[in-house]
Chain A
């Protein structure tokens, strides 16, 4: 990149040229644009190489029978998509992903809000709460699943021991089809709620005191202030949290893959695991790409729908 000390003309400065009248080079805005492009180039190159190109290549693969092995690749048109629409495993795993999203987003939003409100009320030992609520988020997935694998142990696990102590029978936390997804959701809530909590806490701390002072002068009680000031002021944060959370939950894969491998009987297998199974253990990259694109379309639709709910302005 050139490092010439060409001074950016400051308007009003004596001798400043009006834009676009440089006698020696292209007009200033154009030059600036070019310099800007140079700055963006390293990122853009990486972005194109590792993001745009794979996305386009994946789209192409979804129309072929590409395999991980040496078999030649043929163009198969919409065959993969037709197969995906008729594949019951696609629908059941998609259903699992949607179910997980539904049962994880609600607690992850409501509980994190409640936790942030509690901490924000000026509870003694703030840092302890902040740390306790946020700490699990810092754990790697392998550690979290290891902890819960032992908590959920049917025989020696703490949860079943506790049930036993109060005279209840054991629960197959990860082995009973009726419980497994809920157990995964509980783990996920414990693990990731810290991030939403932090977003809410930051939003709460940035609310102006004047609103509360005015309300207090008007005789509004604590509940009234919560309902009429705090929650409406948090609307944008809530939309953001919900949006991020829905996308994060739709992407669920690792904790399930490690803990149940999609079992029992496929009841926790998310769509991403099915794509992984098809593509990487079944070697069928073309078909896996087609399912990915179907899922991608769904995510785009969800995102657009959410954007429409996003309030344009504060309040």
Chain B
């Protein structure tokens, strides 16, 4: 489907297992507690003390998470985990918000860091106890500061990032080499300007024979926004969405960015009309030299054996910036939180962070820096070549209405889609984005 690509193994498949588990668990809860729910999750029903964890990892990510949890459950002081996988998208965040509002949420849940502004102020998630985390070996210094900053609200830490998952640039190593775009270390050269990027795309197209850069955006809820957010931040501008105010957007810079996107995807050198699946299928089918997409597509893209290079999103406008988000652990609000289970939740989060080398194999950049510093990580190819993207990560503007799976991303992406398809000018798309942002900001804030 075209809307479940979000940075958690967004392969084109429904999270069947998760769906079944959730469905069965739900049915079990209603109809026959202890009977049906036993099939849903064995660990759950035998042991009422099991830690309940919600996440949105399906596909390859889901399998890796299974592996990490299975390891964590081994041993004398192993965990008892009752994992529920839910499909990413607006529905995940609705379910989590409702569970937290009702006070019967799981002990631990995964949240995109970009959504925290919609959860922390309303009290839907509770702060971590940093002392407790430190006891289990996790400290502020272990995280990139760009990400750690966003994990806070009013001086407290509400989220512990597991990874950073940026929107990056994948390319066919051989074609990039032919196009003369690799430096002596075999890494992609710096771009530095819009002209250089356009030139590079033309060289890639020439090397490939038809298409330089693939990008799927048609009817996708996030893709245009991801690219825009990176490029706009590179111009040094900020996209402000003050609560109860007017959007603070540099329209001229926004229009410049969209005009550049129009030039890059001009329909000749690079197609402008692909959707998400079409673009990834085109790349794996050899119909283009490179693709701009989230790193979570790594397993899909390398499945066909093309020599694959990866780089942080090219710096085109001067200031290094890469659009990213971060799967983070949060403690959803519980009516009667049990201190013992809270403690166990802290221990579990710390444990998962330390296992995030496994997590990195799908493409995500571990947020826990000791894993990155390990020589083992440096040997991961191509993951290590975009690890620095974590340092220049730019998330959505902080606001309750933004973030992964939000209506905001959909509206912004749709406004830009018209421009990319040639039905609107860059200026009018930029104006539409501001107009739509203003309309969204105009709504009463439901979480304040």
Chain B residues with Cβ below 8 Å from A89 are 439
Contact of B336 with A by CB under 8 A: no
Closest partner residue, chain A, to B440 (CB atom): A282
Which of B89-97, B136-144, B227-235 lies at the interface?
A: B89-97
B-contacting residues, A126-163, CB 8 Å: 142, 145-146, 149-150, 153-156
B415 part of interface (Cβ distance < 8 Å) = yes
Of B2, B97, B221, B418, which is within 8 A of A68 by CB? B97
Chain A: minimal CB distance from B223 (Å): 12
B414/A266 in contact, CB under 8 A: yes
Contact among A146, A156, A259, A284 for B219, CB-based, below 8 A: A259
Nearest CB of chain A from residue B277's CB, rounded to whole Å: 7
A71 at the interface (CB under 8 A from B): yes
A70 touching B219 in the complex, CB below 8 Å, given contacts A175-B417, A265-B417, A266-B414: no
Interface size class of A (residues with CB under 8 A): 35 or more
Q: Which residues of B contact A155 (CB under 8 A)?
A: 271, 273-274, 278, 282, 287
Number of residue pairs A-B, CB distance < 8 angstroms: 121
Q: Which residues of the other chain, B, contact A265 by a CB distance below 8 angstroms?
A: 414-415, 417-418
Given known pairs A153-B275, A156-B282, A175-B218, the reply for A284 and B446 (CB within 8 Å) is yes
Is B184 among interface residues, defined by CB-CB distance under 8 A? no
Asked if B414 contacts A263 (CB within 8 A), the reply is: yes
Q: How far is the CA of A89 from the CA of B417 in the complex (A)?
A: 19
Check if A282 sits within 8 Å of B446, measured CB to CB: yes
Distance of A172 Cα from B219 Cα, bound (Å)? 11
Contact with A along B401-428 (1 / 0, CB 8 A): 1000111001000110110010100000
How far is A277 from B409 in the complex, measured between Cα atoms in Å? Answer: 12
Partner of B421 from the list A145, A156, A172, A262 (CB cut-off 8 Å) is: A172
Interchain CB contact under 8 A, A260 and B123: no
B305 contacts A by Cβ under 8 Å: no
Q: A145-B1, A264-B414 are in contact. Are A174 and B218 (CB under 8 A)?
A: yes
- Output the least CB separation between B166 and chain A (Å): 23
Q: Which residues of B contact A150 (CB under 8 A)?
A: 277
> Any chain A CB within 8 A of the CB of B448?
yes
Q: Would A142 and B1 be within 8 Å (CB), given that A69-B122, A175-B219, A261-B219 are in contact? A: yes
Residues of A within 8 A of B281 (CB): 156
Q: A39 to chain B: closest CB distance in Å? A: 22
Does B124 lie at the interface of the complex (its beta carbon under 8 Å from any beta carbon of A)? Answer: yes
B11-30: which residues lie under 8 A (CB-CB) from chain A?
A: 14
- On chain A, the residues within 8 Å of B100 by CB distance are 70
A283 within 8 A of B: yes
Q: Is B98 within 8 A of A68, CB to CB?
A: yes
Tell me, yes or no, whether B3 is within 8 Å of chain A by CB. yes
Known: A65-B444, A175-B218, A283-B97. A154 touches B278 (CB 8 A): yes
Contact A264 B418 (CB under 8 A): yes
Task: Indicate if A176 sits at the interface (CB-CB under 8 A).
Answer: yes
Q: Which single member of B282, B287, B447 contacts A69 (CB below 8 Å)?
A: B447
State A297–B221 Cα separation when bound (angstroms). 31
Residue A281, interface by CB 8 Å: yes
A172, A261, A281: the one contacting B2 at CB < 8 Å is: A261
| A152: nearest chain-B partner, CB-CB | B275
- In angstroms, Cα B410 to Cα A209, docked, is 58
The chain A residue sitting closest to B429, CB to CB, is A265
- Note all chain B residues with C-beta closer than 8 A to A266: 414
| Chain B neighbourhood of A281, CB < 8 A | 90, 93-94, 405-407
A58 interface residue, CB < 8 Å from B? no
Q: Is the CB of A142 within 8 A of B14?
A: yes
Given contacts A154-B218, A281-B405, 4 further A-B contacts (CB under 8 A): A149-B275, A170-B273, A259-B219, A262-B414
Q: 4 closest Cβ contacts across the A-B interface?
A: A283-B446, A67-B446, A281-B90, A154-B273
18 A–B contacts from the bound complex (CB under 8 Å): A68-B94, A68-B101, A68-B446, A70-B122, A70-B123, A142-B14, A155-B287, A156-B281, A174-B219, A176-B421, A177-B423, A260-B219, A281-B90, A281-B93, A281-B94, A281-B406, A282-B443, A282-B446
